[in-house]
Amino acid sequence: MLPTPKKFMLTAGTGEGETRLTAFDAALLDAGIGNLNLIKVSSILPPKIQFHEKLEIPPGSLAPTAYGSITSKNSGEIIAVAVAVGIPSIDTYGVIMEYSGKFSQEEIEKRIRNMVIEAFKMRNLPLEEIKVCAVEHKVIHCGSAFAGVVFWY
């Protein structure tokens, strides 16, 4: 059984590559987490977890991460991705949303904020704060955009 993480950060990056996989890898490197083994998790922020602007995680570590990504080979296309964390005003869990598409950064930030608000309403949780991390990318050859909430111990 994995322990419950104690810390989290939000990060995003973009990149270009010859293939979809190398473009995704370039986006991870740009986000500062390209040398980690990401374990994709769903969208619940653990109770009592602390936000950090940056986490120092050893290369090769298994890092639970809620994330979204998008990759495109359509030159000139604008792609974007965002993650948002909803933090409750009471001592309980929060909610994370991930979203990607062919949007501007401004549009995707607006959409993801609304998704967090809806998720809190569905759970009948009082929302105190929303943290958003988003990025857009204009594809040159094969581009990728990534945004994630990385957990650590």
Q: Catalytic one among 42, 53, 56, 124?
A: 42
Q: Domain for residue 2, yes or no?
A: no
Q: How far is CA 6 from CA 9, 82, 84, 86, 145, in A?
A: 11, 22, 18, 16, 27
Q: Catalytic one among 72, 98, 100, 144?
A: 98
Q: Domain for residue 21, yes or no?
A: yes
66-100 pLDDT per residue, tens: 999 999 999 999 999 999 999 999 999 999 999 99
Q: What is the extent of the structural domain holding 141?
A: 7-152
Counting the structural domains of the chain, the total is: 1
Q: Does pTM top 0.75 for this prediction?
A: yes
* Rounded mean pLDDT, 43-60: 97
Q: Domain for residue 1, yes or no?
A: no
Is 118 tagged catalytic? no
Q: Domain for residue 94, yes or no?
A: yes
Q: Are 146 and 31 in contact (CB under 8 A)?
A: yes
100-125 pLDDT per residue, tens: 999 999 999 999 999 999 999 999 99
The average confidence (pLDDT) of the chain is 97
Is 37 tagged catalytic? yes
